[in-house]
């Protein structure tokens, strides 16, 4: 590896020209691809942190499996794209890289490099570009991965493209009424409303391992082309009791693929008042996940409440969701149960302004597993209050839905909490009424927006 100092570009280029041979086409193509990737990450991070007085650090890409990623402040990464910076990388990355135009004849993408045949950087390119990229917008932050991290990916892992999706998938989700059963007329009413809003994913509560109360609901969802996500509900995170495998088999035959196990385990509220414990929760989750797999279902992992204070029920003593996710994945590996994650998905609660918490989660997942997991929103939202108007709250959620046509490949759905409460014979807590799209006094403005933009 050649260490690049901070001499001027012309000086450095002249020096290196006299001391090395011309780079190969593969070298130049790889340099172009790497520079473009870092530029994309840098621009995105600057945009996302513009309001912050402190610039965060971000791991630099590395071409060596044995070299740990170098932490670089954002301004140094910008310097890398415009002038030499102090960074240990092959010299050709600096001396021969030139800003690329959109000339289709220029081999500046990973695909072009791979087509060149025997390429000495193919493993590094695979590490950087591993995971879904086709649907990622230019503002997305691609997590750093080394060749070593990529090698950790399980050979038996189900590819993201193989996970089921509804036929006319919009990525629009809604959480159903927050009770474990409803009357047939209520079900018919709100499924019709969901269809008019372009909803193709619905998360609903199932009373433990019950196999009767939600039969009508599941049949109607499937008939209407909506992907059902069943949350196995237990009070305050109590362990699931009974034959979960038989429940999964029953509902798999009816069309349910996804089963969310437990809910927001990083909150005291969902741990029967005890402090969140990633290791203890992971052991409990693995046991239930194996039962879901035995029944032919896909177990949901996570369902974390984002930064305490954003989601309902968050309180002092809850655990940061990013820390809880990382420690939970590490616990899965320590328990020798990585195979359980081969057909698992990550349940996401995108509460608050930051509906792209998915990117933080994906970075952690890829660092720990060497690959992405599908992420499906099962709750989300933000609500008007002292400092947020109804119009602003509505626009924030509407923009989260508008993002979906260009979402990352691993990001399946954004799901607002909830479609109805009291007007759907839902929870007896009237405080939830203002969080519902349909209320006794009318409906949320978001309903009209989703219906109007359904075909956009």
Work out the number of other CB atoms within 10 angstroms of the CB of residue 6.
Answer: 10
pLDDT of residue 433: 87
Q: Which fold has domain 164-452?
A: TIM Barrel (3.20.20)
In terms of Cβ atoms closer than 10 Å to its own Cβ (0-12, 13-18, 19+), residue 270 is buried
Per-residue pLDDT of the chain (456 residues; tens, 9 = 90+): 433 333 333 333 333 333 334 455 555 555 555 655 555 555 445 444 443 433 333 333 333 333 333 333 333 333 333 333 333 344 444 344 343 333 333 333 333 333 333 344 444 444 444 443 333 343 333 444 433 344 445 569 999 999 999 999 999 999 999 999 999 999 999 999 999 999 999 999 999 999 999 999 999 999 999 999 999 999 999 999 999 999 999 999 999 999 999 999 999 999 998 999 999 999 999 999 999 999 999 999 989 999 776 666 667 789 999 999 999 999 999 999 999 999 999 999 999 887 899 999 999 999 999 999 999 999 999 988 889 999 999 999 999 999 999 999 999 999 999 999 987 776 666 778 889 999 988 999 999 999 999 875
Cα dist. 303→311, 321, 414 in Å?
11, 9, 13
Residue whose C-alpha is closest to residue 160's, from 424, 400, 407:
407
Residues 12-26: b if buried by 16+ CB within 10 A, e if exposed: beeebeeeeeebeeb
**φ, ψ at 14 (rounded to 5°):** -65, -40
- β-strands 438-439, 201-207 pairing: unpaired
Tokens coding 235: 């009070």
Residue with structure tokens 């109805």? 420
β-partners of residue 414 are 172
Q: Where are the domains of the chain?
A: 3-151, 164-452
Separation between Cα atoms, residue 126 and residue 158, nearest integer Å: 18
Separation between Cα atoms, residue 92 and residue 343, nearest integer Å: 41
Work out the number of other CB atoms within 10 angstroms of the CB of residue 452.
Answer: 10
- Helix 445-452 vs helix 390-402: crossing angle, to nearest 10: 30
Residue whose C-alpha is closest to residue 288's, from 361, 209, 235, 211:
209
CB 232 within 8 A of CB 242: no
- Those residues whose C-beta lies under 8 Å from the C-beta of residue 195, and which sit 6 or more positions away, are 224, 226
Cα dist. 248→19, 284, 409 in Å?
66, 17, 26
Separation between Cα atoms, residue 295 and residue 17, nearest integer Å: 64
Cα dist. 62→35, 80, 229, 249, 367 in Å?
12, 14, 39, 45, 14
CB 130 within 8 A of CB 150: yes
Cα dist. 44→11, 58, 185, 436 in Å?
31, 11, 47, 33
Residue whose C-alpha is closest to residue 38's, from 147, 145, 142, 149:
142
């Amino acid at each position: 590896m050649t260490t690049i100092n901070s001499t001027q570009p012309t000086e450095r280029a002249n020096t290196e020209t006299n001391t090395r041979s011309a780079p190969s086409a593969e070298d130049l193509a790889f340099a172009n691809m790497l520079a473009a990737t870092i530029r994309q990450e840098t621009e995105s991070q600057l945009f996302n942190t513009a309001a912050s007085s402190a610039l965060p650090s971000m791991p630099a890409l590395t071409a060596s499996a044995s070299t740990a990623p170098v932490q670089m402040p954002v301004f140094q990464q910008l310097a890398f794209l415009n002038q030499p910076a102090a960074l240990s990388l092959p010299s050709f990355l600096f001396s021969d890289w030139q800003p690329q135009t959109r000339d289709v004849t220029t081999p500046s993408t990973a695909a072009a490099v791979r087509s060149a045949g025997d390429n000495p950087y193919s493993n590094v390119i695979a590490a950087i570009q591993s995971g879904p990229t086709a649907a990622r917008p230019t503002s997305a932050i691609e997590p750093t991965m080394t060749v070593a991290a990529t090698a950790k990916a399980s050979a038996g892992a189900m590819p993201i493209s193989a996970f089921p999706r509804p036929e006319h998938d919009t990525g629009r989700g809604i959480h159903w009424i927050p009770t474990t059963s409803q009357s047939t007329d209520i079900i018919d009413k709100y499924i019709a409303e969901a269809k008019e809003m372009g909803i193709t994913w619905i998360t609903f509560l199932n009373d433990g391992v019950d196999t009767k109360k939600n039969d009508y609901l599941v049949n109607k969802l499937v008939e209407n082309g909506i992907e059902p996500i069943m949350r196995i509900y237990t009070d305050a995170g109590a362990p699931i009791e009974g034959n979960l495998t038989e429940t999964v088999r029953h509902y798999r035959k009816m069309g349910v693929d996804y089963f969310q196990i437990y809910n927001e385990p990083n909150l005291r509220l969902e741990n029967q008042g005890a402090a969140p414990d990633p290791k203890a929760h992971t052991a409990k989750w693995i046991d239930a996940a194996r039962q879901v797999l035995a029944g032919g279902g896909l177990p949901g992992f996570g369902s974390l409440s984002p930064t305490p204070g954003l989601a309902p029920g968050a309180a002092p003593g809850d655990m940061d969701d990013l820390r809880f996710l990382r420690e939970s994945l590490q616990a899965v590996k320590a328990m020798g149960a990585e195979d359980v994650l081969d057909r698992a998905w990550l349940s996401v609660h995108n509460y608050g302004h930051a509906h792209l918490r998915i990117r933080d989660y994906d970075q952690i997942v890829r660092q720990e597993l060497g690959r992405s997991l599908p992420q499906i929103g099962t709750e989300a939202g933000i609500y008007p209050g002292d400092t947020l108007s109804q119009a602003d709250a509505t626009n924030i959620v509407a923009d989260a839905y508008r993002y979906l046509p260009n979402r990352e490949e691993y990001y399946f759905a954004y799901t607002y909490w909830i479609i109805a409460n009291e007007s759907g014979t839902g929870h007896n807590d009237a405080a939830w009424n203002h969080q519902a799209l349909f209320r006794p006094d009318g409906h949320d403005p978001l309903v009209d927006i989703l219906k109007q933009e359904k075909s956009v």
